[in-house]
């Protein structure tokens, strides 16, 4: 299936600068949004996406896509963001990753951003569904998940703040994610994709 973006990609491969600019204009916002959710820092995210586009242009002759251009770009942004995360000073609670660095990278890179994921990620309703699901979480569970995901607190910091054991914090976060996952699957079952 060839869509508009893949058509642009074919022109880019031939050195069409206008097509390249159109691709950037089209995809820059959603790729930034994606990078932001990994890096939690807007300017770092924008820089990451810029670097991905620069790499794309410089290697346009060599790149042979298996899937769509969009999923290639998402995967590139994902991988580059992960590499940055590694050096990120603000990631205060990622302990000195030295010996296990390879494994750590490996775990991160197992993730594949295929078209199904992108479609779900970009759908406006996904965000609404997640917000709705969060409202249904038990209060403590929601509070803990909120602190973890949105306030960027580590398990330790949450357990200190709420006076709970770290294990309770972990169990509650896991419960929240499982609940969101099931909720999203049930809501979108009729639509094609499930996780």
Partner 1 sequence: MQEDFIIPEEISQLIVDFLNGSLQEEEIKKLSRWIAESKEHEKQFNAFKAIWLMSGKSIETSAENSEIALGKINQKLGNNNIRQLQPFWRFWRIAASWLIFFVIGGVASGLFMNQPAQVKINPEILTKITAPLGSISVVDLPDGTKVWLNAGSKITYNDSYGKLKREVQLTGEAYFDVITNKHMPFIVETSDIMVKALGTKFNVKAYPDEKTITATLEEGKIEVLSLLTPDSKEPIILKPSEMVTYYKQDKMSMISDKKTTKEKPVKETDKDDKLEMIPNIKTELVTSWKDETWIIESEPLGKLAPVLERRFNMEITFESDEIMNYKFNGRIQNETIEQILTAIELSAPIQYRFEKNRIILSANKMRKERYDQFTN
Task: Tell whether residue 192 is a contact of partner 1 (CB under 8 A).
Answer: no
Give CA separation, 165 vs 37, 51, 86, 119, 162, in Å: 27, 42, 28, 38, 9
Nearer to partner 1, 6 or 121 (CB): 121
Residue 144: Cβ-neighbour burial (10 angstroms; 0-12, 13-18, 19+): buried
Stretch that binds partner 1, among 3-11, 62-70, 134-142 (CB under 8 A): 134-142
Measured over the CA atoms of residue 73, residue 77, residue 79 and residue 80, the dihedral's sign is: positive
18-77: contacts with partner 1 (CB under 8 A): 18, 20-21, 24-25, 28-29, 32-34, 36-38, 40-43, 45-46, 49-50, 53-54, 57-58
Looking at 62, 135, 190, 192, which residue binds partner 1 (CB under 8 A)?
A: 135
Two tokens, residue 79: 């991988």
Q: CA-CA distance, 169 to 134, in Å (whole number)? A: 16
Looking at 64, 131, 190, 192, which residue binds partner 1 (CB under 8 A)?
A: 131
Q: At closest approach, how far in Å is the CB of 186 from partner 1?
A: 11
Residues 6 or more apart in contact with residue 8 via CB below 8 angstroms: 19, 20, 22, 23, 26, 69
145-164: contacts with partner 1 (CB under 8 A): 146, 148-150, 152-156, 160-161, 163
75-94: contacts with partner 1 (CB under 8 A): 91, 93-94
Residues 6 or more apart in contact with residue 67 via CB below 8 angstroms: 114, 115
Q: Are the C-beta atoms of residues 33 and 77 closer than 8 Å to each other?
A: no
Nearer to partner 1, 7 or 114 (CB): 114
Q: At closest approach, how far in Å is the CB of 128 from partner 1?
A: 10
Task: Tell whether residue 139 is a contact of partner 1 (CB under 8 A).
Answer: yes
Stretch that binds partner 1, among 1-9, 64-72, 105-113 (CB under 8 A): 105-113
Q: At closest approach, how far in Å is the CB of 23 from partner 1?
A: 10
Number of residues counted as binding partner 1 (CB under 8 A): 77
Task: Tell whether residue 130 is a contact of partner 1 (CB under 8 A).
Answer: yes
Q: CA-CA distance, 54 to 31, in Å (whole number)? A: 14
**Helix, strand, coil fractions of the chain, as percent rounded to 5:** 75, 0, 25
């Amino acid at each position: 299936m060839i869509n508009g973006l893949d058509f642009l990609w074919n022109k880019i491969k031939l050195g069409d600068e206008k097509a390249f600019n159109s691709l950037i204009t089209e995809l820059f916002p959603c790729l930034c949004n994606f990078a932001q959710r990994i890096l939690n820092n807007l300017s770092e995210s924008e820089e990451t996406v810029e670097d991905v586009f620069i790499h794309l242009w410089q290697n346009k002759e060599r790149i042979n896509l298996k899937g769509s251009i969009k999923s290639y770009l998402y995967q590139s942004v994902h991988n580059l963001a992960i590499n940055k995360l590694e050096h990120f000073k603000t990631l205060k609670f990622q302990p000195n990753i030295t010996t296990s660095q390879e494994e750590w990278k490996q775990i991160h890179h197992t993730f594949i951003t295929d078209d199904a994921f992108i479609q779900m990620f970009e759908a406006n309703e996904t965000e609404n569904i997640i917000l709705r699901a969060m409202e249904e979480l038990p209060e403590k569970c929601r509070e803990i998940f909120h602190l973890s995901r949105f306030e960027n607190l580590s398990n330790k910091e949450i357990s200190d703040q709420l006076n709970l054991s770290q294990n309770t914090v972990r169990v509650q976060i896991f419960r929240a994610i499982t609940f969101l996952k099931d909720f999203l699957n049930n809501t979108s079952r009729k639509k094609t994709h499930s996780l």
